[in-house]
Structure formats: C-alpha cells, structure tokens
Structure 1
Amino acid sequence: MQASEMDRRLQTVREIAVAAGAAALQYYDGKVEIEWKSAGNPVTAADHAANEIILAQLRRHFPGEAVLSEEAQDDMSRLGRELIWVVDPLDGTKEFIARNGEFSIMIGMVAAGRPALGVVYQPATTKVYFGAPGLGAWLATPGGMQTLRVSDRSDTTRWRMVASRSHFDPRVERVRQRLGIHEMRHSGSVGLKCGLIAAGECEVYIHPSSKVNMWDSCGPAAILTAAGGMMTDMRGEALSYSAVEVRHRQGLVATHGRLHDQVIAAIQSENVTTD
C-alpha cells in the first residue's frame, strides 16, 4: 500500500475514533447499566454506542473490507482476507465504569497478516496515539503534536514497567524482580499502556493471560512497532491475526524493543504461563 493511501486511512480512522469516543462520553457521567458477557468481562451501552459508529464509518469509508470487533458477531468473513479491520470499541470498560479516565477507543488494520495501522484514542484526555510501521507514530494532544519514539534505555534497572491498574499479578511481579526493575506505573487499557512505551515513558508491559484477543493487541502493536518497539507473545513469537481463533493463548509482551529477548528469557526462567 502506498504511503499516501496509508496516511489517508490513518487520518480517516483518527476521525472515526474521536467520533466513537464522543458517543461513549455521553454515558460517562450518568448511571451506567452494566451487562456481563462472562465473569470479569463487563459491557455497557457506551461500548455498544462506540461500536455502532465505528462499524458504520468503516463500512462507509472502506466498503467491502472485513471487520472484526469485540462487540459484534465474528462472521469469519475476515479469513483469507488481505486487509482486516480489528476493533475494540471501548478498551478498559472497568476503568470506564470506575470513571478514572483510563479507557480508550482502539482501531487497528491488519495487512498481510501483520498490524499495519493503529489508532488509540483516550476520550477523557482527548489524547490520540496513532501510527503505521514505515510511516511513523505520533501523539496528538490539546497542546499539539509530537512524534512517538521509544526510549533508548538498555539497563533494565532503569526500566519502567507498566502494569494493570485493576489487577495485581504475582507472575508479573516475579519477572519484574528478576529483571531488576524498580519503577512501576499502572494504567488501564492495553492501548494506553503501549502508548506509554511508544512515548518513551515506560519500557515493558507483560500480559500473561490466555484471554487476550486480537482486538486488544492490533492497534497498539501497529503504533508501538512504528515507534520502534516490539510486541510478541510470551514465547517471543509473532502474534497471529489470520487464525480462526481470535485469542492470543500465549499472552502478550510489549517492550521498547531493546533486550526484548531478555524479557522473554526472564518470563521463561520464572516459568510464567498464561491463566
């Protein structure tokens, strides 16, 4: 795909994400009706409202292209397709319910089996992380635009790990100690965590869950890669976006790219497995 076409798509998806975020915010200050898709997996009217806007706009701007969304039935039309849109209309629903601002709209595009474009929009702050490998990565804020680039820290004792706001994981803690990392930050939303790494504010994020899905990783992976970082599963293998199964059964690891293999080795040394 030509750079000009990729840039057009990136700008269009930015606008779609912002529109979806505005729809979600209409439910932010009022009473939130919560449904439970499964244990620990809530969904709200805000998720559905954002999803409807994203799907309608993707179909309008990119007719005929396959879409996989967390809040829509997977009709398998994506299988065997060159381009696939992968959507999490509200990543961090628990944070949305808690009203701490750490939720995001995430839209990614897969091309030839790899994340090729990503947008992560945080409605509560109006920050937009966006990028495409080969094109670049940026953060738009009310104060202006900045280029995203991962940090250059190679000494793991100076690394900053970002972890879940809502859940302490002793497996991640063991890896942190093995790597000698002292500083921890906490955030909701996979996209916002990866945004911190892409912006050079953190170096590593480990998600040791078998329940992480394509829509959790696609957009953030594209942005992180464009900023110089790396995302794999906990074995160090590339995440799949072409399988029938939407889950990444071996979790995910996001880093600034330096010593990624050392992080994988630490995970294996601590015998960390997905739940």
Structure 2
Amino acid sequence: MDALLQNLLAIGREAAREIMDVYARPFAVDYKGPADPVTEADRRANTLICARLRELEPNTPIVAEESPEEDWADFRSFERVFFVDPVDGTRAFVDRTDDFVVMIGLLDGQRPTHGVLVAPVSGIAWAGALGRGAFRIDRDGSVSEVRVPETLSLADAAVVSSRSHRTSLLEQAIERLAVSRVLAIGSAGLKGAAVVDGRADIYLAPEHAGCRWDACAPEAILRAAGGTYTDALGNDLDYRAPSLKNDTGIVAGNPNLHGETVRLVAPLLQAELEKRGRV
C-alpha cells in the first residue's frame, strides 16, 4: 500500500473507534428527511475524518455527507477531492445489524484513485489504489491482496443488491439476469466489499444508488481490484456533475460480466426514466 492509502486507512480506523464508542451505548436518532437517520456517530466520525484529511492535504476539498454544503460548494474546480461517508449504512447502525462502514475516497482528475472501507464491528478493512492493487486487512492486521472474480457466465454468477430498497425495477433486473445467487446487503460499501472478497460477481443497483460519497471509495477499490464500475447505463460516474445523486444506478464488478449486465439492465432503467419524463 502506498503512503496515502495507509494514511487514509489509519483515519478510517480512528473514525471506526469513535463510531463504536457510540454503538456501545444507547443513542438518539435524528432524521434529515424521511427514512434518512443520523446519529452522534455520523457527526463525530464526520468531524474527525474531515479534521484529519485537512491535516493530511490542507488544500484538497472534502465532500462529506454530514458537512454543510457551503464547506465544499466550490469543489468542482479542484483536481483532487475527498469524498466521505462517515457511516455508510446508518439505518443498519440504528437497527444494530452491524452492516455499516466508514468510507473515504479520493477523486484525482476524473476517476477515484484511492479508497478505504472500514467495518467498525468486525474490524475488517478494504483498501485500494489504482495501479497499486486492492487489499483486505483483517482485525489482526494480516493483509491479503484481493481481485474481483473472473466468472464467465451470468448463469454461474452471484449478484449483490440492496436489502432495504427492493424495488420493482430491481426485481425485474435480477430476473432478467438469471444469476445463480443473490445476496442482499444494506451498505453500498459492503456491497463493493462482497465483490472484491469474491462472494459476489456484480454489485447491482439499477436505479437510485445513494450519492457520490457512496461511490467514490468503492469505485477506487473495485477498479484497483481489476473490476469495472459504471452507472446502470454503462456510463462512468461524473463526480463533478451538478447533482451528486447516483440516480442512474450502479453496475460494478467482474469485467467479464459487466457489458452483458448493462445490456440487460439498461433498457429497464431507460424505460423507467422515460416514464418519469427524465429523458
């Protein structure tokens, strides 16, 4: 791992300790909007991560989910940008299902180049840098290099998709792919981790898939592990677009299956967008 990746991993682990301090006791839950909870853990981790990143790279803007938008309003004019989701999977945190991670990603130019995911409960982390590889780091500190699976047929493949957003479009997409297995995981980061760990071939979200801070770190890690990461129409994500929402979905993972997955899923999303008057 290069020096930057090691620094990001250390920051992620420090944030995980803050999160576990809250998780170990009763905590209050606030709501930013319908079905959009936030807790002390989100806020504490967000504050810590942003402070550490400013120490690391004072001139690099930080687009963080729990920071006020005015803190990063001009980020699109910068070459390097950090994207942070301090607790990816806050609903799982609130429900105490343990399926949440810290996510820190770096956009350099047009693509994410560095990413880390840290699972506070298990202590497992995943990290990747383009051209340097992707790694799983277990609680005991042991490091293993990871690669996305090389399955050649959708019929033999596993898809990981949302646990809580089981929409009609998602069900249609899964049926059309006719894969052998479907895993349901709540956190976007843990979906990406399932692919680099070899438990799934494709991360599928055929419509809304959170925001850019839900994508930056997983994209960096998946690409570093030899994977492909696009929206559900097959387009690269534009991290400097006017909207930060991933509202055309995500298809990511095994490059042998990516093109066929997009070919089968994109018409469903296109029809849905036309129905909504979006195209």
Alignment of 1:1-275 (within 5 A): 7-75=2-70, 76-143=73-140, 144-210=142-208, 212-271=210-269, 273=272
Task: Name the counterpart of 1:3.
Answer: none
Q: RMSD of aligned C-alpha atoms?
A: 1.6
Contact 2:22 2:41 (C-alpha < 8 Å) held by counterparts: yes
Answer whether contact 2:203 2:252 (CA < 8 A) is retained: yes
- Consecutive unaligned residues in structure 2, runs of 5 or more: none
Judging by fraction of residues, say which structure has more helix: 2
One-letter amino acid matched to 1:128: A
Q: Give the distance between the partners of 1:66 and 1:114, measured in 2 at CA.
A: 16
Cα separation, partners in 2 of 1:179 and 1:43, compared to 1, 3 Å: same
- Deviations along 1:142-193, one digit per CA (max 9) or x if unpaired, are 3521111011101111111112222323322222222211311122211111
TM-score by length of 2: 0.92
CA distance in 2, matches of 1:42, 1:145: 34
SS at match of 1:210: coil
Q: Is the 8 A contact 1:208 1:273 kept in 2?
A: no
Q: CA deviation at 1:244?
A: 3.2
Q: Deviations over 1:55-98 (max 9, x none)?
A: 01001111111110000022323121010000000000000011
Q: Compute the TM-score of the two structures, normalised by the length of structure 1.
A: 0.93
Q: Percent identity?
A: 31
Q: Which moved more, 1:178-187 or 1:53-62?
A: 178-187
Gap runs ≥5 in structure 1: 1-5
Q: Which residue identity does 1:223 align to in structure 2?
A: I
Helix, strand or coil for the counterpart of 2:259?
A: helix
CA-CA distance at 1:211 after TM superposition: 5.8
The CA distance in 1 between the partners of 2:226 and 2:39, in whole Å, is 35
Distance 1:142 1:158 in 2: 31
Residue 30 (structure 1) shift: 1.8
Shift of 1:269: 4.0
Q: Cα offset for 1:40?
A: 1.2
CA displacement at 1:255 relative to structure 2: 2.2
